[in-house]
Structure 1
Amino acid sequence: MGTSSKAKVGCVVPSGASYTSQQGSVYAPGISNETVGSETLFLGVVTIPPSGRTKAHIHERHDSAHYMLSGSEVEFYTGEELEDRQVAHPGDYIFTPAGVPHVAVNRGSTPAVFVTARNEPTAQESVVMLPELDAKVP
């Protein structure tokens, strides 16, 4: 739909087509610049396939918040060298500030599904890939 100077008001957005992001997770955008002309918010579903992971990356200009809906557990690595490891389970929230390198790993046999919100209207707007960090996460 492209950039819009005026967001749609009070609309229902049906589930749409998903796509694989450059960092490796599957996005199903709900509320975004592309779907409703949002200028400040992205809300959608993000899935990490079974035995899948994201590539190391940062979001330069936006904070991300995730709520884990389903799956078994996801390892979440953050820090300049991805040295900090935490484990998220369904029902947990994950917060990643702008500029923090991170990788998510789903070692389970079912998809890990998250509801995700960002204070930037497109899912890929300020993603910077960090291939030099990928080998730091087993």
Structure 2
Amino acid sequence: MPVLLLKALINWHVMKDDKDNVQLSAVEDHDGILTIRGGGARRDWNGIHYKQGMSAKNVGTTKLSANIATIPPGGVAAAHIHVGFELILYIIEGNVRHEFGPGLKQVVENQAGDFIYIKPGVPHEVFNVSDTEPVVAFVARSSANEWDDIVPYNRNADGASLRQVQSLNR
């Protein structure tokens, strides 16, 4: 899908921090094919703005969820771990840096056009490297519950704490 069309689908108005702002009335059920036109309402979590997308909460998915995420200029999604689910990102626009691994000592940068796969249990913190442009990404998770299985990560945590969280992914 061309970037201009994706931009047209993304609502840039900021709402209050409310990760559970799910608008069920936005879902159209066509007897087996469900649609949310324009990506639904906007919700915020951990410094990232999300279009509502689809999940167990609004369309009854059982194994996946997806939405569009926007990290504002200079924004940061605080360090966290996905417990028991995989995540794939496609960067639509902008440049993003992930600090990841034990102590968040490893770094990888990605730009528009890149796919990113994050394994379950990998601690990471996400940075928009631009002070003027947002990062916009398509996000797909192997969990229908979006944020229910995400835990904060302390970059100064000892190895035993990290191994305990990672053991939940097995």
Name the TM-score class by shorter chain: 0.7 to 0.9
Larger gyration radius, structure 1 or structure 2 = 2
Q: Does 1:92 align with 2:106?
A: no
Shift in Å at residue 133 of structure 1?
1.8
**Equivalent residue runs for 1:113-128 within 5 Å:** 113-128=136-151
Q: Does 1:27 align with 2:50?
A: yes
Higher helix proportion, which one?
A: 2
Structure 1 residues 5-28: Cα deviation after superposition (integer angstroms, max 9, x where no partner): xxx72111122111111x321121
Query: Which structure would you say has the larger RCO, counting Cα contacts within 8 Å and 6 or more residues apart?
Result: 1
Q: Does 1:68 align with 2:73?
A: no
Q: TM-score, normalised by structure 2?
A: 0.69
Runs of 4+ in 1 over 2 A off after TM superposition: none
CA distance in 2, matches of 1:123, 1:28: 12
Asked if 2 retains the 8 angstrom alpha-carbon contact of 1:74 and 1:105, the reply is: yes
CA distance in 1, matches of 2:42, 2:150: 18
Unaligned 5+ residue runs, structure 2? 1-23, 25-30, 157-170
Figure out how many residues of one structure are paired with residues of the other and give that number: 125
CA distance in 1, matches of 2:60, 2:80: 26
- The equivalent residue for 1:17 is 41
Q: TM-score, normalised by structure 1?
A: 0.85
Unaligned 5+ residue runs, structure 1? 2-7
Residue 35 of structure 2 aligns with an amino acid whose one-letter code is V
Q: Does 1:41 align with 2:69?
A: no
Structure 1 residues 64-86: Cα deviation after superposition (integer angstroms, max 9, x where no partner): 10000012x11111101111101
Residue 19 of structure 1 aligns with an amino acid whose one-letter code is R
